Amino acid sequence: MNITEHRILGDHRGKLVAIEGQQDLPFEVKRVFYIYGVKPDVSRGSHSHHQTQQYLIAVNGSCKVTLDDGKQKTTYHLNKPNTGLFQDALVWGEMYDFTPDCVLLVLASEHYDEADYIHEYKDFKHALGYLSND
C-alpha cells in the first residue's frame, strides 16, 4: 500500500497527468470505473479482492480511504488529481468522507468478477490465514 504523487505536465493551456500501466502502476489496466455523487455519511468499498489490484485517484474533490492488510489500518486523504493510492489484492478497503464534487477514479488489474470479491470481514481474515474454519 502506497501513495504516489505523479508529475504534472502542461502549460498555459492547462494541466495533464499521465499514468501508464506497468510503468507507473504494477499492473496492466483491465478495467476503469469511477465513483461520484456519493451522499454525505455514505461509505463505499467495504470489501477486498482475492486477485484484483486497484489504483485510486480523486480526480476531483476529495475522500478518505482506509486500507487494512489484516495487521494494520492506514487512512489516506485523497485530495489532489495527481496523487494515486495503490490497493493490493487481499487488502480491505473503505472509501468515505466524499466531498459533494468528488470523482474517485479506480484503475483495476482485472475484469469484473463477482467471485473475486470478499464482502465479509471475517472471510477476509480467513483468506489471510488469521482465522480458522471453526
Catalytic residues: 47
Q: How far apart are the first and last CA of the chain?
A: 30
Judge residue 5's burial from the number of C-beta atoms within 10 Å of its C-beta, 0-12 exposed, 13-18 middle, 19 or more buried: exposed
**Pair type for strands 63-68 and 92-96:** antiparallel
Distance, CA of 111 to chain centre: 15
